[in-house]
């Protein structure tokens, strides 16, 4: 039978080291989502993302002649409205730059200047600048309308995947530059080779190396439009070599970015697991070498509120450590709440038993899951932790038997 739990008292809340709330500080928290669970920040993000998407839709609809003729004036009004809101947003982000943690010690003007040079702030500026350039200097309206699509890049601020991609590209920039160099060199060699093989047979298509570059690019990228093709035997043979070469060269950037993504995900998981493990007293006592060794054994899970983790009667295949939140255990004989730092599921896992109750989250929880198969490796890497878990499992079983005996005696006495 399963019995669970470590401690039943919640850890004391961490001290609040946030700066005092001012209008500028509060504005920064809303704009940047600096405070977890901030409803105002969530609503602001939803409103801004909706406005960006509507701008892109309006831009595409405005290029349809019939829609432009019927609703062109409304498109212009919506453009002025959007630019006004985007300008206010940009100005507020500059105003609150002094609240950014790593800029607080700088003079206000220097913090704002440094903040304005960040990539996302440059994107925000490009989203509104064409509108003002058109009205101030008479910039071609067609160019202004075309640059409105840059507002789509503002969505990257709210995409963790885009953040990861940017970090990967920056981290692998030297390797990517090398891959681009190989591609450019291949285009030049391919254009030069096909020129010498084909320019006598097709002077109108391969009249020079620059003209032959179109065929080289289309062939190396394996697109092969078919508008320019070799007709001589040597030209066809050389074209086949260029095709195979293109497959190899174009695979390089994909492989570089893929490996960079794998490393970035690995680093992210390492940081997340390290942070979660430090919140569990039993695991926080480990030294850094042990943490690095056993970290791959744990699997982090974010659980929404009122979600069943372990159903009643489920076999003990894993145990769980609570890094944050609360989990409630409900059975026929008892109800118990587990808090941050507690662990459960160890008794059923170690005794090859089943859970005699149901575990479900009270609110949003972050858990570390340790499978039975990984526990055997934990015993080798951190024997003291494994010993404490086995001891705790025996203690929980004894407590359960005591509760059952007490309830049985009470029922008999009645």
Instruction: Show the domain range for 177.
Output: 173-268
**Is the domain of 308 the same as that of 400?**
yes
- Are 207 and 112 part of one and the same domain? no
Q: Output the domain CATH number for residue 389.
A: 2.60.120.10
Do residues 178 and 152 both lie within one domain? no
Under-70 pLDDT residues of the chain = 1-20, 34, 36, 138-149, 266, 268-272, 403-404, 407-414
* Percent of the chain scoring above 90 in pLDDT: 21
Q: Does residue 209 lie within any of the structural domains?
A: yes
Q: Is the domain of 88 the same as that of 129? A: yes
Shared domain for 293 and 253, answered yes or no, is: no
Residue 126: inside a domain, yes or no? yes
Same domain, 341 and 377: yes
63 and 142 fall within a common domain: yes
CATH number, residue 73: 1.20.120.350
pLDDT value, residue 143: 59
Residues 298 and 332 in one domain: yes
Statement to judge: residues 62 and 99 lie in one domain: yes
Please tell me the predicted confidence (pLDDT) of residue 166. Answer: 79
- The Cα–Cα gap between 133 and 131 comes to 6
Whether residue 263 sits in one domain with residue 227: yes
Q: Which two tokens stand for residue 237?
A: 């043979």
Q: Are both 138 and 185 inside the same structural domain?
A: no
Query: Which residues lie below 8 Å from residue 263, measured CB to CB, with a gap of 6+?
Result: 171
Count of domains forming the chain: 3
* Long-range CB pairs of 168-175, under 8 A, 24+ apart, other chains included: 168/257, 168/260, 168/261, 168/264, 169/257, 169/260, 171/260, 171/263, 171/264, 172/256, 172/257, 172/259, 172/260, 175/256
pLDDT of amino acid 147: 62
What pLDDT is stored for residue 186 in this prediction?
92
Q: Are residues 82 and 111 in the same domain?
A: yes
In tens, the pLDDT along 44-66 reads 989 988 998 898 888 889 889 99
For Cα atoms 374, 378, 381, give the angle at the middle one, nearest 5 degrees: 135
């Amino acid at each position: 039978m399963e019995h669970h739990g470590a401690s039943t008292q919640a850890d004391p809340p961490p001290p609040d080291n946030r700066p005092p709330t001012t209008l500028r500080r509060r504005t920064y928290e809303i704009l940047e989502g600096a405070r977890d669970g901030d409803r105002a920040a969530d609503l602001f993000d939803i409103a801004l993302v909706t406005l960006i998407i509507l701008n892109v839709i309006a831009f595409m609809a405005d290029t349809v002649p019939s829609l432009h003729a019927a609703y062109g004036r409304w498109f212009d009004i919506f453009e002025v409205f959007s630019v006004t809101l985007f300008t206010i947003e940009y100005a507020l982000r500059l105003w609150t730059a002094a609240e950014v943690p790593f800029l607080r010690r700088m003079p206000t003007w220097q913090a704002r200047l440094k903040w304005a040079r960040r990539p996302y702030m440059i994107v925000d500026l490009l989203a509104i600048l064409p509108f003002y350039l058109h009205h101030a200097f008479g910039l071609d309206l067609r160019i202004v309308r075309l640059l409105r699509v840059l507002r789509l890049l503002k969505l990257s601020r709210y995409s963790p995947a885009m953040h990861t991609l940017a970090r990967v590209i920056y981290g692998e920039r030297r390797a990517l530059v090398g891959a681009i160099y190989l591609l450019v060199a291949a285009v030049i060699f391919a254009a030069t080779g096909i020129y010498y093989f084909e320019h006598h047979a097709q002077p109108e298509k391969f009249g020079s190396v620059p003209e032959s570059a179109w065929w080289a690019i289309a062939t190396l990228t394996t697109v092969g439009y078919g508008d320019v093709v070799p007709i001589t035997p040597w030209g066809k043979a050389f074209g086949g070599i260029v095709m195979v070469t293109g497959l190899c060269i174009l695979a390089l950037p994909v492989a570089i970015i893929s490996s960079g993504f794998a490393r970035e995900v690995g680093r992210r998981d390492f940081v997340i697991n390290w942070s979660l493990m430090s919140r569990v007293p039993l695991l926080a006592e480990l030294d850094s070498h042990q943490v690095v060794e056993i970290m791959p054994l744990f699997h982090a899970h974010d659980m929404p509120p009122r979600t069943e983790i372990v159903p009643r009667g489920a076999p003990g295949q894993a145990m769980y450590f609570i890094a944050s939140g609360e989990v409630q255990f409900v059975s026929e004989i008892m109800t118990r709440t587990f808090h941050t730092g507690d662990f459960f599921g160890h008794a059923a896992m170690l005794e090859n038993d089943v859970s005699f109750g149901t575990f479900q989250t009270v609110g949003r929880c972050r858990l570390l899951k340790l499978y039975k198969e990984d526990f055997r490796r934990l015993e080798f890497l951190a024997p003291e932790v494994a010993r404490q878990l086995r001891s705790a499992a025996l203690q929980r079983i004894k407590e359960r038997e005591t509760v059952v005996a007490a309830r049985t005696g009470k029922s008999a006495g009645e």
